[in-house]
Structure 1
Amino acid sequence: MSSTQISIVKRDGKRVPFSMNKIKNAIRKAFLSVGSFASDDDLTNILHRVNIQEDMNVEEVQNQVERSLMAENYFAVAKSYMLYRQKHSEDRETRDRIKFLIEYCAAGMLPVEVNLMPMPMSIKKTLPHLLASFRKEILSA
């Protein structure tokens, strides 16, 4: 497979060239996170099971990597890879909520039910101050 000729679809809908190096680096980092090292043979065996197709979305590529890690009996590495993906998914969700609240405040409105929105407690505690600060900046601009 020539990775330079294949495009994948990112979460935002953009088509980008597929990069085998990004997948290899993610696998290497997952191995390192459990105190192990991915040899070239390990990478070859794992990636042999991954079937990248034109316009496949990034989530499906990552799902295939997870299944490949498990098929090769790297269960701890697969778990670490999944937890990393979950953490980043939660971070994206939190970022999107904060962006929404900032835009909401910029429009001159403040949500009354901020405390009911699911988000980490550390963000809930600092959110009123953060929003007030952004609102001042926006109104003074």
Structure 2
Amino acid sequence: MKAVVQRVTNASVTVDGKTISQIGKGYLTLLGVAKGDTEEQLSKLIQKILALRIFPDQDGKMNLSLKDVGGEHLIVSQFTLLGDASKGNRPSFINAELPERAKALYEKALKLSSEQVPTQGGEFGADMKVNLLNDGPVTLIIEI
């Protein structure tokens, strides 16, 4: 399981020209589910993301979590994070989980996150346009 977490001032997802979700200050998480990933790994990943202390405190040090600042979370499924371009120029996606299973884990991620902070999502499997204003920029890659 792989996640790219970006601290954002705002972010939104558009499908077919219609904005389907948007957040203010918070995290945009791009989530890639690999073959064999489990709910236990997902739970661990979401807890890790929500506990990250990457917002500045009063002294400007990265010391505050999403919950500490009252931020929001936007999670977007992105199977291309599992792409392997080590051979040739066309990436292979054989490590990505099958869509049905990946969708179930993605929906579980939304549920787990929403139990702690305001959370929105993209549309699984859709051609999405993701707009964000990266704050910092602060971007982390987390693999579990």
TM range (shorter): under 0.3
Structure 1 or 2: larger helix share?
A: 1
Highest CA radius of gyration, 1 or 2? 1
Structure 1 or 2: larger strand share?
A: 2
TM-score, scaled relative to structure 2 = 0.26
Between the two structures, name the one with larger relative contact order (CA 8 Å, sep ≥ 6): 2
TM-score, scaled relative to structure 1 = 0.26
